[in-house]
Structure 1
């Protein structure tokens, strides 16, 4: 009996010790798990490296200016941004994201690319329980304007957040309007009124008998962004690219008239403008050669504020929505969304980068320091840090509202890039006078229907 009690006591002690060891092990694992969670954002001894692929047009600026600001808040996340030419960016992003070991944790995707990237499983659901656990409680998804936020969604899943919320806008050189004796336009200007005023804005400003200033410069060249001008004119008059069944809906009187209007703008543009696109029209406006420019709003700071890049003064430059059609003002969405690779080994850190950039704080810094357009309603309704942003914010909110109402964006489909190239080919043929607007849109509609079927 005594031996049994000693044995029982020994067993009990061993069991107790084992239980204690188990508790200690559990606590250790819990602590390790907590440390692993914390280490998702890096430590001073072991920083996390995040690599991003983005458009070379702004990648360098982000690397030199944005990353140091981000590191004030997240010092243990090292961000490297690789800039790629726009025409190569989608292909390189797709190739990397679908590979077995992607290089990039973050892909900065243009407006129509998210469906294609999402469809191949390349992107992380940013509202999944996993990501929501890493999301700050004050992030406020509902604060985003609907139009820019929707650019990062596909099939009701939010894959991206708006980082550079661009919109096609109308830029105005007030000095050339005044010199021509034409009233400086407002956001109520219609397309009919604009075309009526355009001939007066082609003028001889130095008295040598030759025109040296013109009414307009914009996209006319054969490239994927050129059809956005035609589409904006069409949308403002109630037209749409696709119907509810996803079939081409632009091959009609509204679409044809809009394309003819786009072509007519050439009559009031500088000589050789048929070969002009983003850079050429931007240069013409900044040199004071054109009274108006239809271009992406994010170029406002470099066109009106930065003396290194423009000859114009801040009080000479206006910005507003594009002219009004029968259905409302013109606008076109061009949002750059930040997305996280679904295969990234540093998802939490990658989301920290995008979360900060698209937060209320990040948007405020971004707009004040880099002139980047915000997407949040609270940012646009607040008093901006810089006075020059006041008219910009007001016009941008009008553009968001118009885009959402008129569905003013490019084709939303995994084959959107192919559809946009077809539109680029056919719109350019019409603008160059090779075929009529009706023939161009008929051909485009037939080709797009086949690839989307």
Structure 2
């Protein structure tokens, strides 16, 4: 995934596009379902009896080759189905899907953040896949339950997991040491982190524009680390059952005031960072920490950074960690032959063999715990898949159809107002909470 978070950071922009053209997208997905997209014949049969499936995804970064390796192995493992990956930036992917109705050449399989799937499922754009999980031959019982449940909306599952991972805190050991801090003792609580901010944010000439920051914390087009921080005080964007806005609750306001003060007044992070900006700041040694996923590890290694990885600092009342899942879905109207072929690929992807190859090559923890001891080429799947971290993991806005709208059109703009001094947290977010509730009630 590219430096966005990868799918997630660019995906958020794509969601806005998809929301604007939801009706068109529904037609596009339905119209292009089951085409086999090779263009060589019915059901993608190019004359050799194979069903060809086009798989659109946004794994444009260092984990892309690992995805392609699993696909290559699947294609070689049998002679009835061929998967062809079309890897593109997430915003491009969504633009192409939106216009696919014109050329009737959309994907057979599409990947997206599972937390976004309800938004499309509510519009009838995806095919339910509960029968995939009901088939014992697919060995879904070995998968992490959280990865499976991430794509459930209104009691129906619409996706099969590509990956599942908590976010972790990368920290620059050299910057810690230069600040007089123990490079082997990253902060474990919010208060510990706040105490380090004056040492890790460096403004050498006192012009109010630090040359180095304590952290790189995005406030738009990024993995939703900031809204997940509300969990640390017992708050949140919405209630766990997805029915009630919590942005105006005292617990949520406490968390927002804490972090807005750190960024706005104590210069812990620059204001206005996208996810890609945050990645670049840490990668270039200008930020001491960043909370992000395993897709960035190769880039940080290639940059020669001396970094460590630790769980994000725990809040005063909760140590919940943001997790994300990317799932594969099928367009509504997919025919039976295409569906069966896709299910065969899904089963291989999440097989012991497929997950070992994926984890070794990507740094993501495998979707199934029973292959953890087989993942030996990279140390990072074990770090991100550590049981102590996994037990803290939580998915933001899971099962909330309005999740994309809430994050993109309400939370981020409200946060930016508070960071830029266009009002206070205590006035901005209660009003935003009313907007969130209106979206939930639709």
Q: Same fold (TM over 0.5)?
A: yes
Partner of 1:294: 291
Kindly provide the CA deviation profile for residues 176-223 of structure 1, in whole angstroms up to 9, marking residues without a partner as x: 212222124668711011111121123489xxxx96433211203x43
Q: How does 1:70-109 map to 2 (within 5 A)?
A: 70-87=74-91, 89=93, 93=97, 103-109=106-112
Q: Secondary structure at the match of 2:391?
A: helix
Partner of 1:199: 198
User: Aligned pair in 2 of structure 1 residues 332, 148: CA closer, same or farther (>3 Å)?
Assistant: same
After TM superposition, give the deviation of residue 430 of structure 1 in Å: 1.1
Q: Secondary structure at the match of 1:335?
A: strand
Partner of 1:116: 119
Q: Secondary structure at the match of 1:275?
A: coil
Partner of 1:230: 226
Partner of 2:396: 409
Partner of 1:19: none
Q: How does 1:40-59 map to 2 (within 5 A)?
A: 45-55=48-58, 57=60
Determine if contact 2:248/2:430 at 8 Å carries over to the other structure. yes
**TM score, norm. by length of structure 1:** 0.75
Q: Secondary structure at the match of 2:308?
A: strand
Determine if contact 1:285/1:291 at 8 Å carries over to the other structure. yes
Tell me, in whole angstroms, the C-alpha distance in 2 between the residues paired with 1:165 and 1:94: 27
Tell me, in whole angstroms, the C-alpha distance in 1 between the residues paired with 2:97 and 2:311: 32
Q: How does 1:312-331 map to 2 (within 5 A)?
A: 312=305, 316-331=306-321
Tell me, in whole angstroms, the C-alpha distance in 2 between the residues paired with 1:387 and 1:101: 41
Determine if contact 2:74/2:348 at 8 Å carries over to the other structure. yes
Q: Secondary structure at the match of 1:324?
A: coil
After TM superposition, give the deviation of residue 327 of structure 1 in Å: 3.1
The two structures, once aligned, show a CA RMSD in angstroms of 3.3
Partner of 2:388: 398
Tell me, in whole angstroms, the C-alpha distance in 2 between the residues paired with 1:213 and 1:191: 20
After TM superposition, give the deviation of residue 269 of structure 1 in Å: 4.2
After TM superposition, give the deviation of residue 171 of structure 1 in Å: 0.8
Kindly provide the CA deviation profile for residues 382-408 of structure 1, in whole angstroms up to 9, marking residues without a partner as x: 25222522652444x43432124xxx4
Higher CA-based Rg: 1
Determine if contact 2:167/2:291 at 8 Å carries over to the other structure. yes
Determine if contact 2:253/2:429 at 8 Å carries over to the other structure. yes
In structure 1, list runs of 5 or more residues that go unmatched.
Answer: 1-38
After TM superposition, give the deviation of residue 302 of structure 1 in Å: 2.5
Q: How does 1:9-408 map to 2 (within 5 A)?
A: 45-55=48-58, 57=60, 61=65, 64-87=68-91, 89=93, 93=97, 103-128=106-131, 131=132, 137=137, 139-184=138-183, 189-203=188-202, 212-220=211-219, 222-223=220-221, 225=222, 228-243=224-239, 244=241, 246-266=243-263, 267-269=266-268, 273-304=270-301, 307=302, 310-312=303-305, 316-345=306-335, 346-380=338-372, 382=373, 384-389=375-380, 392-395=383-386, 397-404=387-394, 408=395
User: Aligned pair in 2 of structure 1 residues 49, 383: CA closer, same or farther (>3 Å)?
Assistant: closer
Larger deviation, residues 408-417 vs 192-201: 408-417
